[in-house]
Amino acid sequence: MAATLIDGKKVSDEIKAELKARIENLRHCDVIPGLAAVLIGNNPASETYVSSKAKACDKIGIYSEVIRREAVATQDELSDIIRELNRRSDIDGILVQSPLPEHIDELAVTLLISPEKDVDGFHPFNVGMLLLGRPLFRSCTPYGVMELLRRYDIDTAGKEVVILGRSNIVGKPLAAMLVQKEKFANATVTICHSRTANIKEVCRRADILIAAMGQAEFVKADMIKDGAVVIDVGINRMPDLSSEKRYKLVGDVDFVACRNKASFITPVPGGVGPMTIAMLLTNTVLSAERRLAGA
């Protein structure tokens, strides 16, 4: 029997509808949530991501602003932009789109963003608070995974969760979320990476397998146990001569092979991807609500 599809597009639309009501309440108090994106250089993928975020903001009533600079922009120029955004009362969230040019110190940039406007959830303060179970903002992609599990009522308490990938953006923060003492957490978590021995055997133990390693269709059917929940965070381009674009998007999971073995599975595209922007919007609205509460 084919697995139940976890529809990230549907859930993200539900979240955006809920956010519209919260934004309307803020507007009644003369508060309009504001999100600023800083884009350095002309990376096509970054342009696409930033454009998608701006459109999503506009659709639900969040003020969005994109600040563009050439790839030759200096560290000092970028620092000045962030300091100004930190000061602005109409901006509740700041994101600096990665990747940055090699001459830019990305950690220094992250440290400069006010933790109260760090809607990406990357600042060490927010990472530390997440580990303590008292997050100000959660990193958007793992937050989206957690929201999918919650909205599909997938119980994680006492379950064995295996995460493929140890990135600071997905793997590590997701593990921190899953081990918290709260509903839809309380899991036993294993993180696998390039040095993990017997990775197939580890994956087969998983009640919930989360792939976030950036290797196209790495997870095969023989790596999951019957009835496992499979969450695919990966997004990779594969050649496809039959397509007008000459490529297709696939995840880190062999979807066709695994669908008939899993109980729940996310597709790519349309699974975790839409949730990342939805949770960025959620963090921005939360920041605006905190601004109102502190007024």
In this structure, are residues 154 and 264 in contact, taking their beta carbons and an 8 Å threshold? Answer: yes
Residue among 97, 117, 180, 207 flagged as catalytic:
97
Q: Which amino acid makes up residue 278? A: A
In this structure, are residues 219 and 253 in contact, taking their beta carbons and an 8 Å threshold? Answer: yes
Select from 252, 276, 291 the least CA-distant residue to 139. Answer: 276
Residue 64, phi then psi, degrees to nearest 5 = -125, 145
Tell me whether strands 63-69 and 93-96 are parallel, antiparallel or unpaired: unpaired
Q: Which two tokens stand for residue 113?
A: 């963003």
Q: Is 180 a residue of the active site?
A: no
Q: Is 53 a residue of the active site?
A: yes
Cis peptide before 99 (omega within 30 of 0): yes
* Angle, helix 171-178 to helix 140-151, in steps of 10 degrees: 40
In this structure, are residues 173 and 130 in contact, taking their beta carbons and an 8 Å threshold? Answer: yes
Residue among 53, 117, 172, 261 flagged as catalytic:
53
Q: Using CB atoms within 10 A of its CB, is residue 70 exposed (0-12), middle (13-18) or buried (19+)?
A: exposed
Sequence-separated (6 or more) residues with CB below 8 Å from residue 107? none
Q: Is 120 a residue of the active site?
A: yes
Residue among 7, 92, 118, 120 flagged as catalytic:
120
Cis peptide before 239 (omega within 30 of 0): no
Q: How far apart are CA 151 and CA 130, in angstroms?
A: 21
Q: Which amino acid makes up residue 42? A: N
Q: How far apart are CA 90 and CA 117, in angstroms?
A: 11
Annotated catalytic residues are 53, 97, 120
